[in-house]
Amino acid sequence: MIVLAVDVEKELGAFNLAVRFEAAGGVTALFGPSGAGKTTVVNMIAGLLLPDRGSIVLGDKVLFDAAARINVPPHRRHIGYVFQEDRLFPHLSVRQNLDYGRRMSGHPRDPDDFARIVALLDIGHLLERRPRLLSGGERQRVAVGRALLMRPRLLLLDEPLASLDPGRKREILPYLVRLRDHARVPMVYVSHTAAELRRIATKVVRLDAGRVVASGGLELLEQADADALG
Amino acid sequence: MLDLSPTEWTAVLLSLRIALVATAFALPFGMAIGWLLARKEFWGKTLLDGLVYLPLVLPPVVTGYLLLISLGRKGPIGAFLADYFGIVFSFRWTGAALSCGIMGFPLMVRPIRLALEAIDRRLEEAAGTLGAGRLLVFLTITLPLALPGIIAGAVLCFARALGEFGATITFVSNIPGETQTISAAIYTLMQIPGGDAAAGRLVLFAIAIALAALVVSEWFARRAGMRVQGK
């Protein structure tokens, strides 16, 4: 079943992007070198950047359609976004950060859901702290929890491990795999690291210079390694 | 030494009332203008920027004179407000509050604008993806993060309003109990033989109020700053 259908074009100065792909449940990897346009694509899916042409459909809901002049604003898209930098709110505690999405969307309090995700990400001991006092890995886990607790229809993760050192990366990846297997939220996962994606992705869309160059299974990652070596 | 006469008390309380009212009324405008200057690009922005800072660089007497000829009983705006709304500024304490607010306005706008410019817009984007519309983003993210700047702006405006002399005395004169603030009272006392002791008492009071305002604002700003930095 197709969950997300993206068909967008955007000109950004000299950079010209035209990307078309579809994603089902599971984890769709947007894979490619820096400057391929991966972040640009997820920003358009989240509604933070307006495409010049095309459409974005999530489930049965049209989020963007240039021809029909439809553009749902970010706060009504119900798409969780884990940014490269955690972007936690510095003036709120971890608990308030986690609760922010639920409060803003007007969902009733759900202690079971909260407890489940806090346990999944192992952040229960951090709840009363301020983000400033957390380690990079802890901050990124809280950011994932915050995006999940808004009950998104889709979760976007833009290089969630990029700002972490190798040890921290190894620390977080298992949580993300657990998320894939237990949270039942479709994900779009941006990365330029094949090794990382091999652990988590279920489908791969390869981008280069603003174009989809290949789309398919995990074998595309092996091919990328071969290209890089050859 | 610190026994103030009833007239002196009146001047002290009147000064406080005028400064508080001036700050309270200036605050929403200060936030709106600070926000416009920090976040928006529009035609005439440079002009607005200049206008806001004008009271800071003009001689206060000039500002007072401009207020008098426009908002005085016979001024075009003043006559209109008096005839249709019954609002009179000239020779009233409300006029003093108006001139004090205008004189303090540039000092209020600047820290608010700087605080808004310093906010990481990416946090607001993140709040948007979490389901907060523009108003909620402003109330839950922008406003709390800009709070130290807003407090600093309010305090500077209050301090300026408390000390305002030139524009106020030009616009609404120096009427005991109505427009005679601490500064105006001190000035009057200095003109009277033997008024030095009373003037001295008021000077001490002015210093005490200014110091108290500084201490209180420092405390607020520190608390707000700690919140923003997540300490």
Interval B45-50 mean pLDDT: 94
Using the predicted structure, report yes or no on whether residue A227 has a pLDDT greater than 70. no
**Contact list, A150 vs chain B (CB under 8 Å):** 130-131
The tokens for B43 are 């035609």
| pLDDT of res. B1 | 52
For chain B, domain boundaries? 6-229
Residue contact B130–A75, C-beta within 8 A: yes
Residues 6+ apart with CB under 8 A from A180: A26, A27, A187, A200, A202
Compute the average pLDDT of residues A213-225: 81
For range A130-140, the mean pLDDT: 91
The pLDDT tens digits for B66-118 are: 999 999 888 889 888 888 888 889 889 999 999 999 999 999 999 999 999 99
Higher pLDDT, A86 or B32: B32
Q: Are A137 and A175 in contact (CB under 8 A)?
A: no
pLDDT confidence tier of residue A165, bands split at 50, 70 and 90: confident
**Record: contact B129-A47, CB cut-off 8 A:** yes
Class of domain B6-229: mainly alpha
Q: A10-54: per-residue pLDDT in tens?
A: 999 889 999 999 998 899 999 999 889 999 999 999 999 999 999
Contact call for B123 and A131, based on CB within 8 A: no
Q: Do A48 and B230 touch (CB under 8 A)?
A: no
Task: For residues B88 and B95, give the distance between their C-alpha atoms in angstroms, rounded to a whole number.
Answer: 8
Q: For A176-179, which contacts have Cβ atoms below 8 Å and span 24 or more sequence positions?
A: A176/A144, A176/A200, A178/A120, A179/A120, A179/A121, A179/A144, A179/A148
Question: d(Cα B63, Cα B70) in Å, to the nearest integer?
Answer: 11
Least Cα separation, residue A33 to chain B (angstroms)? 23
Cβ of B229 within 8 Å of Cβ of A132? The answer is: yes
Determine whether domain A4-89+153-229 maps to CATH 1.10.569.10.
Answer: no
Q: Which of A76, A104, A130 minimises the CB distance to B231?
A: A130
Residue B227 pLDDT: 72
pLDDT score for A230: 47
Q: What are phi and psi of A170, to 5 degrees?
A: -65, -30
Band (A171; pLDDT cuts 50, 70, 90) = confident
Q: Using the beta-carbon criterion (under 8 Å), do A100 and B130 form an inter-chain contact?
A: yes
Cα(B130)–Cα(A101) distance, integer angstroms: 5
> Which 8-state DSSP code applies to residue A36?
S
Contacts of residue B141 in chain A, CB cutoff 8 Å?
Answer: 89
Instruction: Give the nearest chain A residue to B147 (CA atoms).
Output: A91
Q: State yes or no: pLDDT of A223 exceeds 80.
A: no
- Tens of pLDDT along B107-149? 999 999 999 999 999 999 999 999 999 999 999 999 999 998 9
What are the C-alpha distances in Å from A26 to residues A179, A224, B68? 10, 21, 72
* Chain A residues near residue B230 by CB distance under 8 angstroms: 90-91, 130-133
Longest CA span, chain B: 70
Q: Strand locations in A83-163, DSSP E?
A: 154-158
Gyration radius from chain A CA atoms: 17
Say if CB A141 and CB A176 are below 8 A apart.
no
The confidence band for A225, taking pLDDT boundaries of 50, 70 and 90, is: low
| Mean pLDDT of all residues belonging to chain B | 91
Predicted confidence (pLDDT) per residue in B7-31, tens digit: 888 999 999 999 999 999 999 999 9
- Domain spans of chain A, in order of start: 4-89+153-229
Going by DSSP bridges, is the β-strand pair A211-216/A27-31 parallel, antiparallel, or unpaired? unpaired
